[in-house]
Chain A
Amino acid sequence: MIKKVFYLAITSIFFSSCVAVKEYEKININDPDMALSQKKLNRFETSYQVYREGASGANGGKSGGGCGCN
């Protein structure tokens, strides 16, 4: 587990050293389909997955609490 976290940290540092993309070059990045957050409509799907699966979280949705279902 510690190894995995270490690799993730190294990867993060690697990514942050990439050449910065200028604002005027972000037309593709700013496309709505490129958003890293989920669409509002996907909240239902995330909730149902939390109800019927043992794992949850790390997806912008519920990770526990708020209802008697998880």
Chain B
Amino acid sequence: MVENQVEVVAVIKIYQMKIVIILICLFCFGTTFSQKDSTNVFKKKVLETAEINFLTSYYGQNGKNASVTGGIGTEKLSDFTSTIVVSIPINADDVLTIDAGISAYTSASSSNGNPFDISGASRNGDDDDDDDDKTYKKAAQVIGSPWIASSGASKSDVWKTVTADYSHSSKSRNTILSVDVSIANEYDYNSFGFGGGFIQQFNEKNSTVSLSGKVYLDTWNPIYPTEIKSFVEENGNLNQGFFNGVTILDQLGNQSSRWKPAKGFELIDIKTRNSYSVSFSFSQILTKNAQISIFTDIVKQQGWLANPLQRVYFGDISNYFIGNASSISKYTSTNNTDVFQLADDIERLPTNRTKIPIGVSLNYYINEIFTVRTYYRYYFDDWGIQSNTASIEIPIKILETFTFYPSFRYYDQTAADYFAPYEKHLSTEKYYTSDYDLSKFKSMQYGFGITYTDIFSKSHVFNFGLNTIDFKYTNYKRDSGFNAGYVAVGLKFLMD
């Protein structure tokens, strides 16, 4: 654990150094263009004044197919996210945008990385999921259920990210070049990303082509299910460490010492997950009231693409439990509050994935009150998922300053080749997951938004005038019983 932390800190320091170097390059890039432009007497700026956007959201979800507990169990999760986006005009042609965000979540599903803790205190002395502390609670206090949140450390996490983007527009404003760099960190994951983009307008600015690329070099700090990590640490001895004094039960509720991970578990050796994407889009003004955009991405991911915390249970091998023997018969019921099934393995997925989404967006201005915004996307990948997404939003200008946005979104997907529900996989398979995000399902989302715009920015905070207030609410339902909702608020300020 300590070695892992040192490793993570070292990685973060390297990323921070890279970011500093790239930011210095970005400023040099900007300074160069700024010197060239000093000969101009007057030119309209790409961005007239500094902008600040404060964005925040609250998201909640619930379901009965948690992936951490092998496809059954509570999916209850809440997430609070806050972001600030600052855009600064460096000169007439260049804009620097800094985007910093923090996302804090609590998850019943993730907490069950160590489920044997629903009594409130951790069996592991340091309250993490690594079982590296040798002070254990009494065996009688080891209680778990996939339907109840544990108090383990993985019940919550904070995702932090910073992105810097620098864009340069040509004198004609027909060409825009941009570069960006990003860093993100969470408890079990670190990310470093960079990219660049090119936008060209032509045909009297009626047509636009854009091409961009993005690279993420990510690293896992893997967290495993408690029982599997302990099994490895104690070399399979079920009388030591976490298992010391704990009774393991078979399907009939009889004491057993035969449980072990199905394939002689070894900790993962690939900790990287790299993503490379190329995006292309073509936009065209069709008439005075209509415009369309067609876009596609080609995304290649390599590395450990599965989540090491997510359990899988095989249907062709015996089941073993810790907890109340009389509750085994109702294990998959939400009435099960005191027995937990030991994992057969963690999910295993190929180390390569290619994703290709193709989308089209068509917007139509009906009149001064109504506009229609439509979107369709077809997606396929080499894991066997095909998907359709269609959405419509109808902005309605209620007053000069207020716009109301009702919206609807439909989504469907086929299952990944490697997905099967709880206890439906076979131990002879090479790849397997019970993550229902990779299952076959359909979903509907209803929502609305309200925007208040004050073009004169009369309300002030220091030297910044409030230009826009945005609010949005959506409700999302899958045909599998999963549901989610979120609210978001955004404030946009312009510098005087």
Instruction: Give A residues with C-beta under 8 Å from B.
Output: 1, 4-5, 8, 11-12, 15-16, 18, 20-23, 25-26, 28-29, 31-36, 39-45, 48-49, 51-60, 63-68
Least Cβ–Cβ distance between A57 and chain B, in angstroms: 4
Q: Is B355 a contact partner of A56 (Cβ separation < 8 A)? A: yes
Point out the residues of chain B lying under 8 angstroms from A65, CB to CB: 191, 193, 214, 216, 218, 273-275, 277, 301
Closest to A8 in B: B294
Q: Is B359 a contact partner of A58 (Cβ separation < 8 A)? A: yes
Q: How far is the CA of A41 from the CA of B397 in the complex (A)?
A: 18
Point out the residues of chain B lying under 8 angstroms from A48, CB to CB: 59, 476, 484, 486
Q: How far is the CA of A58 from the CA of B383 in the complex (A)?
A: 18
Q: Is A4 a contact partner of B358 (Cβ separation < 8 A)? A: yes
Q: Quick check: which of B123-131, B235-243, B283-291 contacts chain A, the rest being far away?
A: B283-291
Asked if B34 is at the interface of the complex by the 8 Å CB criterion, the answer is: no
Point out the residues of chain B lying under 8 angstroms from A57, CB to CB: 277, 279, 297, 299, 355, 357, 379
Asked if B33 is at the interface of the complex by the 8 Å CB criterion, the answer is: no
Q: How far is the CA of A41 from the CA of B53 in the complex (A)?
A: 9
Closest to B218 in A: A65
A-B contact sample (20 more), CB < 8 A, given A36-B293, A55-B413: A15-B286, A18-B287, A21-B287, A21-B288, A23-B204, A25-B288, A26-B288, A34-B365, A41-B470, A48-B476, A51-B437, A54-B379, A54-B385, A55-B357, A58-B357, A63-B355, A64-B355, A65-B277, A66-B216, A67-B159
Q: Is B488 a contact partner of A41 (Cβ separation < 8 A)? A: yes
Point out the residues of chain A lying under 8 angstroms from B204, CB to CB: 20-23
Give chain B interface residues in 193-249, CB to chain A under 8 Å: 193, 203-207, 214, 216, 218, 220
Q: Is B474 a contact partner of A45 (Cβ separation < 8 A)? A: yes
Q: Quick check: which of B136-144, B337-345, B370-378, B423-431 contacts chain A, the rest being far away?
A: B370-378
Q: Is B371 a contact partner of A33 (Cβ separation < 8 A)? A: yes
Least Cβ–Cβ distance between A34 and chain B, in angstroms: 5
Q: Is B205 a contact partner of A23 (Cβ separation < 8 A)? A: yes
Q: Is B283 a contact partner of A55 (Cβ separation < 8 A)? A: no
Of the candidates B274, B275, B397, the one having the most CB atoms from chain A within 10 angstroms of its own CB is B275
Closest to B362 in A: A36
Asked if B133 is at the interface of the complex by the 8 Å CB criterion, the answer is: no
Point out the residues of chain B lying under 8 angstroms from A67, CB to CB: 159, 184, 186, 189, 191
**Also in contact, A29 and B85, with CB within 8 A (given A36-B361, A53-B411, A65-B274):** no
**Also in contact, A63 and B357, with CB within 8 A (given A29-B285, A29-B365, A55-B379):** yes
Point out the residues of chain B lying under 8 angstroms from A55, CB to CB: 355, 357, 377, 379, 381, 385, 387, 389, 411, 413
Least Cβ–Cβ distance between A32 and chain B, in angstroms: 8
Q: Is A31 a contact partner of B371 (Cβ separation < 8 A)? A: yes
Q: How far is the CA of A28 from the CA of B26 in the complex (A)?
A: 36
Closest to B163 in A: A66
